[in-house]
Structure 1
Amino acid sequence: MSLDLQTRDHRWCLDASWISYARRPAASELRARARSIRATHYLVVPGRPALVGFFAFRDGSKRKSLIPAALAAARTLGPDAYAEYEPEPGRLWIVATDHLGNLTPFADSCISASEQEAFEARLDPSLVARKQRFDIDQVDEKFAQFEPESYPLREVSSRRSLFIGAGIVACGVGIGLSLYTWHLHNIRLAADRVQQMRVESDRLKRLANAQVTTVTPDHWINACLKTAKAIPLFAAGWAQMEWVCNSTGVEITWLRAGGTLADAPPGKYTDQGDLIVQTLPMEPERTRPQAHAPVDGKRLLLALLQQSGVKAQIHTTVVLDQDPKQAHGPPPAASAQFIWPTDPRSTSWDAIPGLQFIELRHKTGLQLSSAAGQQSDLNSYLVSAQIGEGDHAP
């Protein structure tokens, strides 16, 4: 639940989930995302990328704008910062920035004082070493250094959906009455024949569309990252360790960090109730396949990885019973595994013909370090993919 903090000069809002988008999403997409994480309001910070903050207020909140404290704190703290504020007794507000000065995924989180030790134990030790702590009697003074900026707030309301639903029902009733009247004034056999032809035509159209649509690598990556990054990293005493996108959807692994199964995220639990795997659906956009000039997809992938300084393991699938007479045909399929060092949405993967992502794995950085001083790259992604047969130069 988002928290309001009144200082001498301004009313600030704390505890939100922030997501970056390469382009500003449609309002319907933002409302759907807000409902999936139980947010009641959202705001949009324009730019490239666009930044969206999701807030959860008590039912009935009619506010039209607010001042997000996290954005003001990030501008004041600067890059590679980690700070803990005590807005009220027994609660801590966490703000952290990356090397560019942007909010980290777990920033703008409110936790109880009893969760502090478990929360910090799963962060990079070098980040915690830079911690700045401001007690409750220092908060007013520190917030006075922030530059407030107010943003319009939009409510996540179901009224529009209700109106659309009512309209659909009304249209359905009207069509039903019209068909009934027409049915009474025309020959039954002719009406049935027309109806059967319409149903068959619609079925063939749906079948044809299903056969000619596909999921491109870029659409798969966008759906994966959009679903995974919308989930907060710390919730009710549970820390998000890693997430994996694959054929089943997005699998999120949670580790108990002071919470209980009563308030845990939904999913299958193991390790005596200390570990939970939550599975979320992933719905990538489908488009009609595009024709590619005959090129070697594996060669293009290797060139891209070399340009980015990435080492990959690429293996060719050997077909033991292949006809020797077809040795001059298209090369067999290849599988690839590599670590991509930055957000994969910044790369155009559609330019590589035949590329298909199998799995994308990312560690959040909230894991216990196996050795003192160990650092984890929060921006790297383990990628498993394959390149199908036939995408080659003649």
Structure 2
Amino acid sequence: MGMTHFIRPRQMPNRIGYLKMVADTASDRKAISRKTESLLLAVLAQSEALTYVECDFGPSGTWVLATDENALPLPGSDSFFDDEDLPGFRSSLEGFSFRKRITIENTAIDAFLESLPPAPVKIRSISFRPYYVAAGVLAAGGLITLQSFHVLHERNLARLRDEAQRSLLLERQRAQAATHDEPSAAEWVRICMHHAYALPPYKDGWTLTNWECAGKTLSVIWQRTGGTLAAAPVGLMLNNGNSVRSSYPLMPFETIKGTPGDAAGDARAFIAFVQQSETNLSIKTTSLVQGNRAQSQNAYVISFPWQGDPREIPWDTFHNITVERLGREINADSRGGSQGTDYQIHVSIKDASVAPFTPESEGR
């Protein structure tokens, strides 16, 4: 990609941005890091959740910022669009109900920029050359000192080896323990939506029209809207080259705590909760076989649409519940825009009100 520098703002510690500087001075020790002002962070500090901002910078294009329900920038924000690409980006966001829209004309740009609060960010170089030079100087001085204190060096080296070995074993234990912890239903939903909404709704002439999480995979359908396969996202080609299905792993972005032990809601309580939203449920009953098939337990497979944010459902108040699939389809309207439909949710939950079936219970 040819990137030379990166930014990690303290206001958004979980995000990182890369950029390429035309006058690359990354090899200069004085250019290891530098500070500049961020228009994104300055406008974001004065923006609320679900805010849409457009700033007309004249020949440079229109700068855009859009925030989600958590007041975080949506994909595509902090970008300049010309008159041809701006309508396509707008249409990709028509599924969001923005509470506030701000348009800054070109004649008011200077006054708008002066009203913004300071938002300094530190630009760091990706190149390791300055660090190598500094490390080489330190290493040379260290070798001279170590030659004078050879015995002390050997003792310290042995101690460092022991500490490194213990640290390595500890990290392996933590990694193994982390792989055995499965996320709870609420954690899985947050992981799914975190990855789904991190994808850009429109990129290089391809529009995101459908996404679905299942297990540990996020599956996405991209529809060609002016682009070609040369610029298409990586994935399986469909519909005579007009669609592409991409798959992404669902990786945890936060510490996995697992299913809480105090969850008390059963299958009936969950169904009753969903019924309060006056939505249409599809409920099927299945039998889960456990162990050596000597014991089975009834379970419900529930499918339903959801208009609100799935993260607001109190998943962890119900026990024995698993979210099998979560997805959303984004339909194009007659004007070429797009609008997000209801979320489609499929869960399975064991029926704890019925005792497990065993051959012994049948004999009684």
Give the TM-score range, shorter chain.
Answer: 0.5 to 0.7
Please list every run of 5 or more consecutive structure 1 residues that lacks an aligned counterpart in the other structure: 2-34, 164-173, 179-204, 320-325
Does 1:94 pair with 2:64?
yes
1:368 corresponds, among 318, 332, 339, to 332
Q: 1:315–1:335: 8 Å Cα contact kept in structure 2?
A: yes
1:68 corresponds, among 39, 62, 68, to 39
Q: 1:74–1:97: 8 Å Cα contact kept in structure 2?
A: no
Change (3 A) 1:72 1:131: closer
Amino acid at match of 1:43: P
Query: Which range is displaced more, 61-70 or 337-346?
Result: 61-70
The equivalent residue for 1:229 is: 197
Amino acid at match of 1:304: F
CA distance in 1, matches of 2:179, 2:336: 53
SS at match of 1:43: coil
Matches within 5 A, 1:261-276: 261-276=229-244
2:6 corresponds, among 40, 43, 48, to 40
Change (3 A) 1:249 1:139: farther
The equivalent residue for 2:270 is: 301
CA distance in 1, matches of 2:95, 2:256: 42
How far did 1:41 drift?
A: 1.8
Change (3 A) 1:91 1:267: farther
Q: 2:217–2:247: 8 Å Cα contact kept in structure 1?
A: yes
1:85 corresponds, among 55, 59, 65, to 55
SS at match of 1:386: strand
Query: Which range is displaced more, 102-111 or 233-242?
Result: 102-111
How far did 1:157 drift?
A: 5.5
- Once the two structures are superposed, residues 242-271 of structure 1 have per-residue CA deviations (whole angstroms, 9 ceiling, x without a partner) of 321112511122223333322222112223
How far did 1:352 drift?
A: 0.8
| TM superposition score normalised by structure 2 | 0.62
Matches within 5 A, 1:277-296: 277-284=245-252, 291=261
| TM superposition score normalised by structure 1 | 0.58
Q: 1:115–1:257: 8 Å Cα contact kept in structure 2?
A: no
Does 1:335 pair with 2:301?
yes
The equivalent residue for 1:140 is: 109
How far did 1:39 drift?
A: 8.9
Does 1:56 pair with 2:18?
yes
Does 1:119 pair with 2:75?
no
The equivalent residue for 1:382 is: 344
Q: 2:297–2:355: 8 Å Cα contact kept in structure 1?
A: no
Amino acid at match of 1:109: S
Does 1:345 pair with 2:311?
yes
Change (3 A) 1:381 1:272: same
SS at match of 1:305: helix
Amino acid at match of 1:254: W
Query: Which range is displaced more, 99-108 or 381-390?
Result: 99-108
CA distance in 2, matches of 1:209, 1:95: 40
SS at match of 2:200: coil
- Once the two structures are superposed, residues 282-306 of structure 1 have per-residue CA deviations (whole angstroms, 9 ceiling, x without a partner) of 134665665457x562122124324
Change (3 A) 1:346 1:145: farther
Q: 2:332–2:339: 8 Å Cα contact kept in structure 1?
A: no
Change (3 A) 1:151 1:299: farther
The equivalent residue for 1:110 is: 80
CA distance in 2, matches of 1:381, 1:154: 39
Change (3 A) 1:297 1:105: farther
How far did 1:120 drift?
A: 3.6
Amino acid at match of 1:114: E
Q: 1:336–1:385: 8 Å Cα contact kept in structure 2?
A: yes
Matches within 5 A, 1:11-26: none
Matches within 5 A, 1:205-220: 213-220=181-188
How far did 1:340 drift?
A: 3.1
CA distance in 1, matches of 2:296, 2:71: 48
Please list every run of 5 or more consecutive structure 2 residues that lacks an aligned counterpart in the other structure: 133-156, 162-172, 288-293, 357-364
- Number of positions where the alignment pairs a residue of Structure 1 with one of Structure 2: 302
SS at match of 2:308: coil
Change (3 A) 1:87 1:350: same
Amino acid at match of 1:361: G
CA distance in 1, matches of 2:205, 2:95: 20
CA distance in 1, matches of 2:196, 2:5: 16
Q: 1:74–1:102: 8 Å Cα contact kept in structure 2?
A: no
How far did 1:82 drift?
A: 4.5
